[in-house]
Structures are given as C-alpha cells and as structure tokens.
Amino acid sequence: MRAVYAIVFAAAFAALVGQHLTSPSSGRPVSPEDFAGACAPCGAPCPSVQKK
Amino acid sequence: MSTLATSSDVSAPALRRDWPFLIASVLALAVLVTLVLIDGQPAAAALLMLGFALGGVFLKTEFSFTASWRRLIVPGQADGFLAGLLLIAIAAAVIVPVVALVPGFGGAIAPIGPSLVIGDFVFGIGMQLANGCGSGTLYTAGGGSGRMIITLACFIAGSVIGSLHLPAVLSIGGIDPILAANVFGPWGGLAVTWVSLALAAFAGVVIARRRGAAFAPPRKMVVGAVAIGLLCIAVFAAGRHPWSVTFGFTVWGAKIATAFGADFSNAEFWQWAGPKRAIGDSILSDTSSLTDLGMILGAMAAAATSAPFARNPWPPLKSLLAAAAGGLLMGWGARLGFGCNIGAFIGGVGSGSLHGWVWFLAALPGCVIGIKLRPLFGLSRE
C-alpha cells in the first residue's frame, strides 16, 4: 500500500502543479457563490430565477 | 533497576516518525503556498494552511461525523452528535452576524426542494458504506488509508456525474433559500440558530437516555469540536464563505475528464458562472480545492509524525467495493444535495440557512439504509 500511496501522491502533485502553471488564476480565490445569481455553493441559480 | 528500565520502555514507546512522508507533506504545502503567493493570493495561502491545520486536527482527534451518526442511530449514543452541534454553534457565532452585517461575505445557502432531499438521502447511504463523509474521506485518505483513496476517486467521479444531472433535477422545483438572519435580523437569526441547535442537542440527549447510552462527549471530542469550529471561522474569514469540500472534487473530476477528451461545453451545470470559471482557472483559485488539498497534506503530516505511514495491508475486496460504491453515491448525492456534512450541514446551519436542517433530516434516513447495507460488504453495523 505504501508504494501505491507514494506513486499516487507524486503523480497527483505533479499534475496539480502542472495544471496550475498552465491555467489562469484569479486575483483572489473564488467560490461559485461569489458570482451573481448563485443560490448554492456550486453556483446553481435560485428556483425563482429558473422559473422566469 | 533493570525492571524499572524495562517498565519505562514499555510505558513510553518512542515516536516512530515517518520522515519521507512527513517531509513530502510539508514540502508539498510549502510549494503550493509559494505558487499562490507568487500569484499574489495571500488568501489562497491562508486557506491552504488552514486546510493543513484542519487535516491535522481531524486526524489527531479522530473527529468523525459518519461514526457519530452511526452511534446515534445504532446504540443511541449521542456524544459525537452533540460535539458536532457544538462545532456548528461556535462557527455560527461569527458566520450568521457577519454575513448579515459585512458586505463581501456570504453564507452557505441552497434552494430547498426535491434535489436537496434526494441528494442528501443518497449521500447518507454513501457515507455509511464508505465509512467517511467529505471531510472524513479527505483526512483518512491523507492519513494513509488506501481504502479511502478509492473512495476519494469514486467521490470525484460521482460528483461529476451529479453535476450533469443537477440542472434537470433542480428544474422539478423548489423554493429559494431561507436565512434566519433575513427573517429575524443578524442577532435574532443567531439566536434562532442557537435555539435550533439546542433543540437538536436536547433530542440527542433524550434518545441517549431512553436507550441507556452515553451522551456526554469525551474531552478529546470536545477539543476537536472547539478547534474545528474555530478553524471554520478562520476559513470563513479567509475565503469570505463558509468552509466547503465537495465542489473542489467536482472541479478536479471535470478537469481530469477534460484532459481525457470529455467536453462539458453543452452541460448546463458547467455554463453557470461559477463552475464555468472554475473549470477554466487553476485549481488553486478555487476556495474549496485549497482547503481540500491542505487537509490531505495536513492529515498526511499528522499521521507521519506518530507512526510508519500507509503500512496497513489492503482490506478485503468486499470492503473496497463498499468504499467505491460509497464514494460514487456520496459524490452524486453531494452534487444534488449541495454539499456534504461540511458545506451543507455545518455551513448551512452555521449560516442560519434552513436547508442545513433539511439536509440533516434527509441524510439521516439514508444513513439508516447505509448501516443496514454495511454487513453485505463485511462491515460492522456499529
């Protein structure tokens, strides 16, 4: 298990750093709730808005 | 003399630190903190470090929502449940008034309807099969459990599947979020939130007394609840929203799927402003991903300080199947139910949002089903 764990950790960390260096990043960390119209932690709209 | 020496050796075993994993976890945190600081994101650095602290506290105090709920349902033991309520009461003391009074801060809110109820019920089944919820999966996977790495992978896959189903289930209907502070004002909302927690605690004590079970949380559990409650407040201050876990999993899964050729441009969920931004930006720009990553590293560091890391053998196949099924169900359920114990229950109730209590009431029967299913996978009901 230890070897599997080390491999998974190293691969995931390399992928994480790689995608960070190749992706845009905003000025401060954001949550989907920061955006207008978000009604849930995932950014889903409110039912009252969906009905319109 | 020799007897004394032998006795001393037995009573105070030397700490067996696992230096490679301890160094790797601290070094990884340092690299991530450096990367976000280079981007000018001190708040992101704070969230990474707070996640690291959360991972350590969860692991060292063995704080577990899943086991607490199982003890409440099976023998009627309310100690862990009461500790969880204490944690929420501490977080609510700051979150409810600040959300109402300070611009720029938001609570954990969500619509109340079929999506919430169905998602939470399924999540409840999953958390008992997996033997851990969102936070539990993170700190046990980070702490060296190979079984929970499988749960985490399936949690991520399930949450991406859930993201594809959520818009259709949401269209069935529902009502807009209801916040106590919007009805009773900032301090009235906090009072109502605390009263609701006190009533739940009273119900827990009544259940425990009727069944002759314990309800007073042990000292370690109280320390865990207070520490996690205070860290919840710190995460809220840094991220401007209550701590959440599962949206990060959805983003990770979508990014992995995209790397393998999946196209989400026609998926409604990924056209909403928040998810659309998250799938395009760096993972280190997403608040829940930051605390999730910190938590994995913090649990790894905490585990490696006291014992050889990840030395346990793999569990039986049945147990691994339960881990996989539980992860998938939790991922799907968390997406439809707007989060896990952290984002929906602690964050929701801690924000004075009614959906937090609906989440709890829908997840509880799911847990009952999950507990009944555990023996099929060779897991104990207790």
Higher pLDDT, A37 or B186: B186
Residues B95 and B240: their CA atoms lie apart, in Å, by 10
HSE-up of residue B268 (Cα within 13 Å, Cβ side): 12
pLDDT tens for each residue of B119-173:
999 999 999 999 999 999 999 999 999 899 999 999 999 999 999 999 999 999 9
Higher pLDDT, A27 or A48: A48
Q: Which residues of B touch A33 (CB under 8 A)?
A: 106, 108-109, 241, 274
Name every residue whose Cβ is closer than 8 Å to that of residue B168 and which is 6 or more positions away in sequence.
none
- Closest by CA to B306, choosing from B117, B112, B108, B56, is B56
Tell me the β-bridge partners of B179: B353
Region B105-121: mean pLDDT is 96
Residues A38 and B82: their CA atoms lie apart, in Å, by 32
Pairs from B310-315 (Cβ < 8 Å, separation ≥ 24):
B310/A1, B310/A2, B310/A5, B310/B21, B310/B144, B310/B145, B310/B146, B311/A1, B311/A2, B311/B144, B312/A1, B312/B144, B312/B145, B312/B146, B313/A1, B314/A1, B314/B146, B314/B147, B315/B147
Tell me the β-bridge partners of A30: B286
HSE-up of residue B140 (Cα within 13 Å, Cβ side): 23
pLDDT tens for each residue of B323-364:
999 999 999 999 999 999 999 999 999 999 999 999 999 999
pLDDT reading at B234 higher than 80: yes
The separation between CA B232 and the C-alpha centre of its own chain, rounded to angstroms, equals 11
Region B7-13: mean pLDDT is 47
pLDDT reading at B10 higher than 80: no
Cβ distance A44 to B278 less than 8 Å, yes or no, reads no
Q: Which residues of B touch A14 (CB under 8 A)?
A: none
Q: Which residues of A touch B22 (CB under 8 A)?
A: none
What pLDDT, on the 0 to 100 scale, is given for residue A51? 59
Closest residue in chain B to residue A3, using alpha carbons only: B310
Q: Which value, in Å, is the radius of gyration of the alpha carbons in chain B?
A: 21
Tell me the β-bridge partners of B112: B175
Diameter of chain A by CA atoms?
A: 54
The DSSP secondary structure of B303-331, one letter per residue, reads HHTTS-TT-SPPPPHHHHHHHHHHHHHHH
- Closest by CA to B341, choosing from B83, B143, B148, is B83
Cβ distance A40 to B44 less than 8 Å, yes or no, reads no
Tokens representing B58? 């969860």
Average pLDDT of every residue of chain B: 94
Tokens representing B29? 């945190």
End-to-end alpha carbon distance in chain A:
53
For residue B288, give the nearest of A2, A25, A31 by CB distance: A31
Distances (CA, A) of B123 to A17, B18, B66, B198, B378: 31, 34, 11, 25, 20
What pLDDT, on the 0 to 100 scale, is given for residue B7? 41
